[in-house]
Amino acid sequence: MEFALVVLPLVLILFGIISYGVMLSFRQSLSQAAAEGARAAAVTFLEAEKTPEAAKAVTEAMDSFGVKCEGSSLKKGSKVVGTCDISEPGKCEPDAGAEIKCVTVVLTYDYKNNSIVPGFPGLGIVMPDTLTYEAQARVS
Cβ burial, residue 35 (10 Å; 0-12/13-18/19+): buried
If you average pLDDT over residues 8-16, what whole number do you get? Answer: 87
Please give the pLDDT value at position 112: 87
Please give the pLDDT value at position 91: 81
- If one counts every other C-beta atom within 10 angstroms of the C-beta of residue 74, the result is 25
Would the CA dihedral through 62, 68, 69, 75 be positive or negative?
Answer: negative
Domain residue limits at 68: 2-139
pLDDT tens digit sequence for 98-122: 678 888 999 999 998 888 887 777 6
If you average pLDDT over residues 21-32, what whole number do you get? Answer: 93
Give percent of the chain above pLDDT 90: 41
- If one counts every other C-beta atom within 10 angstroms of the C-beta of residue 56, the result is 16
Question: If DSSP codes are grouped into helix, strand and coil, which group holds residue 129?
Answer: coil
Give the total number of structural domains in the chain. Answer: 1
How far apart (Å, rounded) are the C-alpha atoms in residues 28 and 35? 11
pLDDT tens digit sequence for 49-62: 567 888 999 999 99
